[in-house]
Amino acid sequence: MNQKEIEQALENKEIKVYLQPQFDLNSEKLVGAESLVRWQRGAIMVPPSSFIPFCEQTGFITQIDQYVLETVCQHMQKWKQKIPIAVNESRRHLYNPHHVEELEQTIRKYGIEAKYIELEMTETAIVHDIEAAKEAERKVHALGFKVAMDDFGTGYSSFSMLRQIEIDILKIDKSFVDEVTQDKRGKIIIETIISMAKKLKMTTIAEGIETKEQAEYLKTIGCDIAQGYYYALPMAIEEFERRYLA
């Protein structure tokens, strides 16, 4: 893959935005979705792991993320049922002083309220330049966007991040969810994370739920929201609309 190919892919609309639904663990109602990018390269669906790291290196990720937000907003504008949508924020954005303005312009263009957009940042992105991240967090919060910490618990300083940055939503990484039905220590850890999140008034989302047992356990310990193959795979926006918003 080279720069030209990926640029052309975006131009030719081969880059697709998928949505993976999120459900309230108690009521099992749809409460949101995460946008995830795909590259439809002929018959092949290229996963983000095969091109996002390259795009992060070149900086082209900023164009991809902008395209994702724009596509999401375009669709949200038509929805009668308002649900929040999460977008992944590359670390690259933290170093772009105009990024917050771009976010605001995009949602304004489509008449979307900021509270319906959740900006997912990973701990590694934040830790890389904590001052830039703090500044970005203050600005997006002032505009009303929600901030989520993605892959919580996988880095070296997840807890230190929580102290320094105001986070609305904690996305508990799949690696914790995987362990939850077998491992006693794993259970204690995830229970503690959820209880802490509650005290800090953060919403908890468990990622990568694949079994009923995991879902049930997470419900008993008070996790708020579930996302994973057990419920639904990421899907094309049109299919998401058909299945959940019709």
Q: Interface residues with Ca ion (CB under 5 A)?
A: 88, 120, 150-151
Interaction between residue 61 and ligand C2E (CB under 6 A): yes
The β-bridge partners of 83 are: none
Three-state DSSP class for 73? Answer: helix
Which residues lie across from 15 on neighbouring strands?
A: 39
Per the CB < 8 A criterion, the answer to whether 220 and 181 are in contact is no
Residue 214 touches ligand C2E, criterion: CB under 6 A: no
Binding of ligand C2E by 84 (CB under 6 A): no
Instruction: Give dist(CA 122, CA 138) in Å, integer.
Output: 16
Residues 32, 43: Cα–Cα separation, whole Å: 29
Q: Which helix (H) or strand (E) holds 88?
A: strand 85-88
| Cβ nearer to Ca ion, comparing 152 with 217 | 152
Which CB atom, from 156 or from 195, has the smaller least distance to ligand C2E?
A: 156
Interface with ligand C2E, residue 19, by CB under 6 A:
no
DSSP β-ladder status, 117-122 and 85-88: parallel
Reported as half-sphere exposure (CB side, CA atoms, 13 A), residue 37 has a value of: 29
Of residues 168, 205, 149, the one with CA closest to residue 21: 205
Cβ nearer to Ca ion, comparing 101 with 159: 159
Stated length of the chain: 246
User: How far is the C-alpha of 115 from the C-alpha of 107, rounded, in Å?
Assistant: 10
Stretch that binds ligand C2E, among 41-49, 74-82, 135-143, 235-243 (CB under 6 A): 41-49
- We find the least distance from the C-beta atom of residue 18 to ligand C2E, in angstroms, to be 7
Question: CB of 241: closest distance to ligand C2E in angstroms?
Answer: 19
Q: How far is the CB of 7 from ligand C2E (least distance, A)?
A: 16
Per CB under 6 A, which region of 46-54, 100-108, 182-190, 214-222 contacts ligand C2E? 46-54
48: contact with ligand C2E by CB under 6 A? yes
Task: Work out the angle at residue 85's Cα, subtended by the Cα atoms of residues 14 and 15, and round it to the nearest 5 degrees.
Answer: 5
Under the criterion CB under 6 A, does residue 20 sit at the interface with ligand C2E? yes
In the shown chain, the binding pattern of residues 131 to 160 toward ligand C2E, with x for contact by CB under 6 A and - for none, equals -------------------xx---------
How many chain residues bind ligand C2E (CB under 6 A)? 22
Q: Figure out which of the listed residues 6, 19, 25, 52 binds ligand C2E, where binding follows CB under 6 A.
A: 52
Report the greatest alpha carbon distance in the chain.
Answer: 50
Return residues touching ligand C2E (CB under 6 A). 20, 36-37, 47-49, 52, 61, 64-65, 68, 88, 90, 150-151, 207-210, 228-229, 234
